[in-house]
Amino acid sequence: MSVLAFTNARLIDPASGLDRSGSLIVRDREIEAIDGAVPEGAEVIDCGGKVLTPALVDAGVFKADGAACLAGGIIRVLLMPDQSPPVDDPALVERAQRIGKPQVWVHPFAAATRGLEGSELAEIGLMKLAGAAGVSTGHRWIADSGVMHRLMQYASGFDLVVVTHAEDSGIAGDAVATAGEFATRLGLSSAPAFAEALAVARDVRLAEATGARLHIRQVTTAESIEIVRRAKARGVRVTCGVTPAHMLLNDQATLGYRTFARMSPPLRSEDDRLAVLAALADGTIDVIASGHDPRTQEDKRLPFADAAPGMVGAETLLALALTPVHDGRLPLIDLLAKLSSNPAQLFSLPGGKLAAGEPADLLLFDPGAPWRIDADRFAADNTPFDGSPVQGRVLMTVKGGEIFR
Q: How far is CA 330 from the centre of its chain?
A: 18
Residue 4 belongs to a domain:
no
Residue 6 belongs to a domain:
no
pLDDT of residue 375: 84
Q: The domain that contains 124 carries what CATH number? A: 3.20.20.140
Residue 311 is given by DSSP the state: B
Q: With a cut of 70, list the residues of the chain below it in pLDDT.
A: 1, 379-380
* Full domain range(s) for residue 221: 56-352
pLDDT of residue 117: 97
With the C-alpha atoms ordered 41, 351, 19, 288, is the resulting torsion angle positive or negative? positive
Q: How many domains does the chain have?
A: 1
Residue 196 belongs to a domain:
yes
pLDDT of residue 1: 61
Residue 393 belongs to a domain:
no
Residue 296 belongs to a domain:
yes
pLDDT of residue 379: 64
Residue 395 belongs to a domain:
no
CB count in 10 Å sphere of residue 258: 13
Strand partners, 22: 9
Question: In 85-140, where does DSSP find H-type helix?
Answer: 90-97, 124-130
Q: Is 213 helix (H, G, I), strand (E, B) or coil?
A: strand
Residue 284 belongs to a domain:
yes
Residue 15 belongs to a domain:
no
pLDDT of residue 380: 64
